[in-house]
Amino acid sequence: MIQTEKIKELVERRAAARMGGGQKRIDAQHQKGKLTARERLAMLLDEGSFEEFDMFVQHRCTNFGMEKTKYDGDGVVTGMGTIDGRLVYVYAQDFTVNGGSMSETMAQKICKVMDMAVRNGVPFIGINDSGGARIQEGICSLAGFGEIFERNILASGVVPQISGIFGPCAGGAVYSPALTDFTVMVKDTSYMFLTGPGVVKTVTGETVSQEELGGASVHASKSGVAHFAAENEEEGIRTIRDLLSFLPSNNREQAPFAETSDPAGRVDDALNAVIPDNPNKAYDMYQVIGSIVDDGRFLEVHKSWAKNIIVGFAHMNGRSVGIVANQPKILAGVLDINASRKAARFVRFCDAFNIPLVTLVDVPGFLCGTQQEYGGIISHGAKLLYAYGEATVPKVTVTLRKSYGGAHITMSCKQLRGDINYAWPTANIAVMGAEGAVEILYSKEIKSIEDPEGQAKKAMEKKTEYNDLFCNPYNAAGYGYIDDVIEPRNTRFRVIRALEQLAAKEQKNPWKKHDNLPL
């Protein structure tokens, strides 16, 4: 009989814990267009795979009458489960319990599953929906944040870390997502900022809404803090699942192989005509990416930020790859501060997790002007240069059209240990374009001609001469800096064959405690 009562008590406590802050607060959550923590985990994980830890943990605070109200779980659901059969560790903050605010015990629960993820070499996913630090706990709440941040740092480059921002995330809480590899936000219902609109109004006099200050659209398009901005929570969770399908479980494994019926030898005649005759006319790099990857499937990262460069994941003959490509349709594909930061971060992630890099180059140079120089384009451009130079994963580069100056070097050239460097016949690889080169090299000679018509004729003659010498792929190929000039229609086959050749590549950098990336 006693045993029966004990079991009944267990069942009742589990049921109560699963209700979080109670039905009224659950209804309030739904009225905001938001799911509960457990509903989110049920959608994220394979059905029936979730195993919860620390369901009966309660806070220990006795300040401000807090001892009178306690909930099992204390505002966060933690545990393990599977996504497409692969083990992951997870937490989801429960806004129905004390607004999901961070307590000492909540931090301990989160830290426990983070430690498990690192020990077992398994991805870690956190879903944030919190009012921030639990003020009643004072320094203990802040200490909890610090413990989480330290684990984010130590886990970086060891296991993939993904953050879902599905509600408020403010103050110190924003730094955990910022330390993880990828952040997914939900439009209209999630926001991130260090100080809220009220404080901004008091300090600066600026009136701004939560959405304008730190909404998903802002961070996806202006700051680059958010890698993905989903229309709703369901799309956000699908994005996390999709992202994970391209990633290995840890830094010692390869990404899972994806079965495909798309032939490795498939050719696309349309690529032979994709480059316009006019070198100053734009074309869409997405057409090239869609043509060469398996089944045209491409998961773009930072789609709405720094759109002059494209980064994202795809499969090529079933193998996971990271794609980096200049976008001629936006700012002519030039490298600027944000594009350099965006691509450098992505390249370093791929290198940390054994994901080969495929780089598609059409870059006229770095963006000029006082705004860029004052903003530190030299240091930011160096980040991308550094990222490619230190990367030891297989690197296959295809130059489609322009590849000029320092930007040529930066975009995974042979001197940065590019393994296989191809070029299309339309490639121009030089210090600069003919227009600028002739202006520098022959300015005095041209201006010495008194007749304007004669000046124009001489300038055109020198441009043709410069183009013949340098603005083609064969000069670089003649020095071995380009391994082969390939027909565009065969790009998919040639890249796949290069990746297969490099599958067993081993390359190590000199021993160091850590590098000194130009941050």
Q: Which residues belong to the active site?
A: 171-172, 406-407
User: Alpha helices of 376-490 — where are they, by DSSP H?
Assistant: 377-390, 405-410, 434-441, 443-447, 452-469, 473-478
At residue 168, the 3 state secondary structure works out as strand
Which two tokens mark 358?
């495929």
Specify whether the CB–CB gap between 289 and 326 falls below 8 A: no
Shortest CA distance to 334 belongs to which of 301, 372, 308, 373? 308
Torsion angles phi and psi, residue 169, rounded to 5: -150, 100
- The DSSP call for residue 270 is G
Strand partners, 161: 124
Phi (first) and psi of residue 452, to 5 degrees:
-55, -35
What tokens appear for 15 in the block?
């049921």
Separation CA 45–CA 107 (nearest Å): 22
Strand partners, 77: 92
Looking at this protein, which amino acid is placed at residue 57?
Answer: V
Distance CA 224, CA 202 (A): 26
Q: Amino acid letter at 395?
A: K
Residues 90 and 128: beta-carbon distance below 8 Å? no
Helix (H) or strand (E) holding 49: none
Q: Distance between CA atoms of 489 and 267, rounded to whole angstroms? A: 5
Report CA dihedral (130, 349, 491, 406) to the nearest 10 degrees: 110
Residues paired with residue 230 on neighbouring β-strands, in sequence order: 186
d(C-alpha 1, C-alpha 369), whole Å: 82
From the list 43, 42, 39, 103, the residue with the least C-alpha distance to 71 is 103
Q: Which residues contact 337 (CB under 8 A, 6 or more apart)?
A: 367, 372, 375, 376, 377, 380, 381
The CA–CA distances, whole Å, from 280 to 162, 242, 364, 434 equal 40, 37, 10, 12
- Residue 224 · residue 342 · CB < 8 Å: yes
Residue with tokens 């690192």: 118
129 backbone dihedrals φ, ψ, rounded to 5°:
-160, 80
What is the Cα–Cα distance from 299 to 22, expressed in whole angstroms? Answer: 38
Question: How many whole angstroms separate alpha carbon 111 and alpha carbon 208?
Answer: 35
